[in-house]
């Protein structure tokens, strides 16, 4: 049972990480988490090759420890899906986050709901895996029918709990995007 709960918790963590990469109108260094730069032949996350600061509410500033990486970082950001053009002054790269339009806010809300639905599907797949596991154990006479039913009920309660948590996360992130 613990194995399935751990898997469900990992799905929630993954969803939270996905939500952190969605920009809500203000600068957040987490939007760069999934962007990697070629650092001497190794793909390395941007946050590991430089200092990222937020000098103003809508500006991210990246100062690489090795200035030869400026072009690579700029290229990686341009190729990513964050939709912001970096400006390079030879020492640092600045990302200026534009104000979100109402249309863009609605698009982000749809994206949030889609990511939430994907997380729910992952939770339900874990539930199905658990149910199949209990049926196999019962057929192999490792557990009784009563134990199988008890386990299935426990997994269903766990699933309901995690789906409710996902709904809460979707609601929080959506209201954050719409209220900025």
Give yes or no for residue 81 having a pLDDT over 80. no
- Which CATH number goes with the domain that contains 72? 3.30.1360.40
- In this structure, are residues 11 and 119 in contact, taking their beta carbons and an 8 Å threshold? yes
Are 85 and 120 in the same domain?
A: no
Q: Domain ends where: 96, 120, 138?
A: 96
The CATH number of whichever domain residue 168 belongs to comes to: 1.10.132.20
Task: Give yes or no: residues 105 and 168 share one domain.
Answer: yes
| Domain shared by 12 and 50, yes or no | no
Say whether both 107 and 160 belong to one domain. yes
Number of domains observed in the structure of the chain:
2
* Of the residues 96, 125, 148, the one at which a domain ends: 96
> Do residues 72 and 30 both lie within one domain?
yes
Sheet-wide strand order for 50-56: 50-56, 59-64, 93-96, 87-88
| Among candidate residues 96, 112, 139, the one where a domain is terminated | 96
Range of the domain at 108: 2-19+101-179
Residues 86 and 116 in one domain: no
At 157 the pLDDT is 93
In angstroms, the CA 130 to CA 126 distance is 6
Whether 172 and 122 map to the same domain: the answer is yes
110 and 127 housed in the same domain: yes
Cβ of 97: how many Cβ atoms within 10 Å? 21
**What's the pTM?**
0.69
80 and 120 inside one domain: no
Distance CA 177, CA 79 (A): 24
- Pair of tokens at residue 156: 């269903």
Residue 67 is inside which H or E element, if any?
A: none
For range 25-50, the mean pLDDT? 83
Rounded distance, CA 59 to CA 125, Å?
40
Residue 177 pLDDT class (50, 70, 90 cuts): confident
Q: Is the pLDDT of residue 79 over 90?
A: no
Residues 124 and 165 occupy one common structural domain = yes
How much is the average pLDDT of 33-57? Answer: 86
Are residues 107 and 84 both part of a single domain?
Answer: no
* In a shared domain, residues 65 and 108: no
Per-residue confidence (pLDDT) for residue 25, from 0 to 100 = 62
Contact 163, 120 (CB under 8 A): yes
């Amino acid at each position: 049972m613990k194995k399935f709960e751990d898997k469900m918790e990992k799905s929630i963590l993954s969803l939270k990480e996905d939500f952190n990469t969605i920009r809500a109108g203000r600068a957040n260094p987490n939007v760069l988490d999934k962007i990697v730069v070629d650092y001497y032949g190794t793909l390395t996350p941007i946050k590991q090759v430089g200092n990222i600061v937020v000098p103003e509410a809508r500006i991210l500033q990246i100062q690489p420890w090795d200035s030869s990486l400026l072009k690579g970082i700029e290229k990686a950001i341009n190729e990513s899906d964050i939709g912001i053009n970096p400006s390079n002054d030879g020492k640092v790269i600045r990302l200026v986050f534009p104000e979100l339009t109402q249309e863009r806010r609605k698009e982000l809300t749809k994206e949030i709901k889609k990511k939430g639905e994907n997380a729910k599907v992952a939770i339900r797949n874990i539930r199905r895996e658990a149910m199949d596991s209990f049926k196999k154990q019962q057929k192999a006479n490792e557990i009784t029918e009563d134990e199988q039913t008890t386990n299935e009920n426990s997994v269903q309660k766990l699933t309901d709990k995690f789906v409710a948590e996902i709904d809460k996360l979707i609601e929080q992130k959506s209201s954050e995007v719409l209220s900025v």
